[in-house]
Amino acid sequence: MAAPLRLGLAGLGTVGIGVVQIVQKHAQMIAARAGREVVITAVSARDKTKNRDADLSGFAWETDPVALAQRDDVDVFIEVMGGHEGPARHATEAALAAGKDVVTANKALLAHHGHALALSAEAAGRVIRFEAAVAGGIPVIKALTEGLAANGMRRVMGVMNGTCNYILTRMEDAGLPYDQVFEEARQLGYLEADPNLDVGGIDAGHKLSLLAAIAFGTQVSFDAVELEGIGAISIDDIRHAADMEYRIKLLGVARMTGRGLEQRMTPCLVPMESPLGQLSGGTNMVVLEGDSVGQIVLRGAGAGMGPTASAVMGDVVDIARGVRVPVFGVPAAQLAQPVAAAVASASAWYLRMTLVDKPGALAKIATALGEAGISIDRMRQYGHSDAHAPVLIVTHKATRDDVNDALTRFAATGVVVGAPVALRIEDV
């Protein structure tokens, strides 16, 4: 058997301790599957005295992750600290410069610096593996770079933030408003320290940008992702969507078009009976569409100690076996600079607005839609209250520009109370 593969683990939070537990619990099984022993030789975290419910006594300790990355007794540097600047970036760059392979769960680091890091890794003959950075325990990176490598990818989409899916599912199941469920999620520890990373779509947007780079052979372009969070989704939207046999999801979609690369992470309606429509709680789902294979649906836990640590160790085992795959599936120097394209493909739309309750109000809205070139598929008007009438419209296919035009025309009618809600209905 080959010499042991020696790991340096930077970050001893939930995921880091999960990695320690897997290595200690399954040492013999991992050695048998990897063809060599896999051991942790050194770790790094800011506070050595903290109780982490794990036996760390056999590991060397570094307070500086850069020093850990440069140790002679480390072959693979595992980065599970988080953050796209500061220690995580510096230590990853130091590991590559020192000739180490890198395994990371840090989607923000790769979304902002992935191309530069990939160039550095490949110039040094090293690999960066990041299965844990996207959709937790779901092996979607491996699916794209290996299992579907012979496919031209048509579309990548999915629910990639479990916290948002939990909030939307909980709102529907319990009939609770957004603010109350948001607070519940915060109390349960589901939200990031900066909640906007979750509910603003940023975390999921990071993941989508990485999948798009692999799927379409481009450099990572997170700045071009259209982002819209779930904060404007009301319990009424949840109920009205259900009335029309849809569910609302924070959905990421990426596709290459004749105009360039479309990337969006926005709330959408999906058919209730579709796989995405049936996804509940904190679970993630990624849908991959290839020209040869058709549609592949991957579903599983998108976060948490066990699933994320499992993905980290899957990458470690591949490195131990000698699997060497370019960071984004093809050599970094061959990745094209993407042309960012605003989403222009047509779809049906869900429009929800409140009208003043007076004769002719609804006719003005229908006229505004017609002038914007949008036809109505279905329309419902709900019970009146305080001289206001809630109205729900599902349109036939229209572009975002057409919808924006209609919203501008709505404002000029003088019959709309507050801001209308417009959500895309995704064809899945």
Which stretches within 26-150 are classed as H helix? Answer: 27-34, 65-69, 87-97, 107-123, 140-142
CA–CA dist 279, 414 (Å, integer): 39
In angstroms, the Cα distances linking 19 to 9, 29, 163, 176, 383 are: 9, 15, 22, 37, 54
Active-site entry in 100, 107, 142, 207: 207
Is position 249 annotated as part of the catalytic site?
A: no
* 134 contacts 207 by C-beta, under 8 angstroms: yes
Distance CA 226, CA 265 (A): 6
CA distance 206 to 326: 19
Rounded Cα distance between 366 and 407, Å, is 12
Exposure of 115 by Cβ count < 10 A (0-12 exposed, 13-18 middle, 19+ buried)? buried
Is 316 in contact with 38 (CB distance < 8 Å)? Answer: yes
Distance CA 70, CA 64 (A): 10
What's the chain's length in residues?
428
Helices (H), 221-360: 235-243, 305-321
Please, what's the largest Cα pairwise distance for the chain?
A: 83
Q: What are phi and psi of 219, to 5 degrees?
A: -70, 150
Q: At what angle do helices 107-123 and 202-216 cross, to 10 degrees?
A: 30
Inter-helix orientation angle 305-321/27-34, to 10°:
40
Residue 52 DSSP SS3: coil
Please give the structure tokens belonging to residue 64.
């500086």
Provide the sign of the torsion angle of the four alpha carbons 268, 278, 159, 334, taken in this order: negative
Cα separation of 255 and 364, whole Å?
Answer: 36
Catalytic positions, written as ranges: 207
